[in-house]
Amino acid sequence: MLLVVEQFLNGLQFGLLLFLLAAGLTLVFGIMDLVNLAHGSLYMMGAYFAATFAAWTGSFLLGALMALGATLVLGIVLEMTALRHLYGRDHLDHVLATFGLILFFNEAVRLIWGPAGLALPLPAWLTVPVPILPGIHYPAYRLAIIVVALLVALLLYLGVMRTRIGMLIRAGASNREMIGALGINIKLLYTLVFGLGAALAGLAGLMQAPILTVQIGMGENILILAFVIIVIGGIGSIRGAFLAAIFVGMIDTLGRAFLPNLLRQVLSGAAASTAAPALSSMLIYLLMAIVLVVRPEGLFPANRR
């Protein structure tokens, strides 16, 4: 029981984290039609910034806030210098150009921070276990991630659904040319959306940093997961990204936790223990393949024509 609740919450926490990453990716994808592989690099930069700033200021929260600002600025600079010129080009060009950016960021990080990873220590008040149910404790920090991510998701939802900028973003996702024709400053909107996406990726990175070590290439595996999510959810759809992110987070976490035991009931011990890690890593890709075969446009396509 304890294990189930704990793993369930872990899955939720991981899913929400993935949502932060996927939300920015799906916005950029849906609105600017840009495939940004370097989104994972922004996630990595968020973690590195947080670790550095937290060490400077001696405060976790202050460091996190500064890192958030720094990734926002980095995203805006990146958009204005490089990615802006890729809009309207072939998707293949996007893949290649942003692949180049990944190489650049990984190498830049190695140059600045060195090849060894960094650690981002948590303040004492976030390390205590919190009782969530009678007899069941859960780490405060993971709980904090869930709360912050849910809050951000809510703000994002309200921002996109209830504000003027959100309306423009939605309009942009469904018909790019039209909002330009209506006299909206698309350039500014694009820069803004990209910055927002970068900040969300940075937030995901800095929140994940204390759980994992901050290291080069940390953005790449999770980037592919984020892509899986937006493809499952339907490109450009925030709602789809949210549901798919929770789903993927749960499946991945629960699969890793319980699949070995399940397999052991069907297979012999040795076979199960070799098959289980591979199979649980494959689960989400399998899920994506199934979704794409059944619904090639994802579960919640944004711009249904």
Nearer to other proteins by Cβ, of 65 and 297: the residue is: 297
- Given a contact cutoff of 8 angstroms between Cβ atoms, the answer to whether 193 and 32 are in contact is yes
Nearer to other proteins by Cβ, of 58 and 115: the residue is: 115
User: CA-CA distance, 60 to 87, in Å (whole number)?
Assistant: 37
* DSSP codes, 193-244: HHHHHHHHHHHHHHHHTTTS-B-TTHHHHHHHHHHHHHHHH-TT-HHHHHHH
Which residues are 139's β-sheet partners?
A: 129
Question: What's the length of the chain?
Answer: 305
| Tokens read off for 161 | 């659904």
Q: Is residue 300 close enough to count as binding other proteins by CB under 8 A?
A: no
Which residues are 129's β-sheet partners?
A: 139
- The count of other CB atoms within 10 Å of the CB of residue 167 is 13
Q: Is residue 289 close enough to count as binding other proteins by CB under 8 A?
A: yes
Among residue numbers 79 through 138, which ones bind other proteins (CB under 8 A)? 82, 85-86, 89, 91-93, 95-97, 99-108, 110-111
Q: Is residue 296 close enough to count as binding other proteins by CB under 8 A?
A: yes
Q: Is residue 158 close enough to count as binding other proteins by CB under 8 A?
A: no
| Tokens read off for 122 | 């948590």
Q: Is residue 236 close enough to count as binding other proteins by CB under 8 A?
A: no
Within the chain, what is the greatest distance between any pair of CA atoms? 66
Nearer to other proteins by Cβ, of 105 and 194: the residue is: 105
Contact flags string 196-225 toward other proteins, x per CB under 8 A: ------------------------x---x-
Tell me which stretch binds other proteins (CB under 8 A): 140-148, 193-201, 247-255, 285-293.
285-293
Nearer to other proteins by Cβ, of 34 and 153: the residue is: 34
Among residue numbers 24 through 83, which ones bind other proteins (CB under 8 A)? 29, 35, 82
Write the CA distances from 274 to 1, 158, 221, 263, integer angstroms: 26, 46, 22, 10
Tell me which stretch binds other proteins (CB under 8 A): 1-9, 45-53, 156-164, 288-296.
288-296
Find the binder of other proteins among 177, 278, 304, 305 (CB under 8 A).
278
- Given a contact cutoff of 8 angstroms between Cβ atoms, the answer to whether 175 and 182 are in contact is no
User: CA-CA distance, 86 to 97, in Å (whole number)?
Assistant: 8
In whole angstroms, the minimum distance from the beta carbon of 29 to other proteins comes to 8
Which has the closest alpha carbon to 198: 33, 56, 65, 23?
A: 23
Residues that bind other proteins (CB under 8 A): 29, 35, 82, 85-86, 89, 91-93, 95-97, 99-108, 110-111, 220, 224, 227-228, 231, 235, 274-275, 277-279, 281-282, 285-286, 288-289, 292-293, 296-298
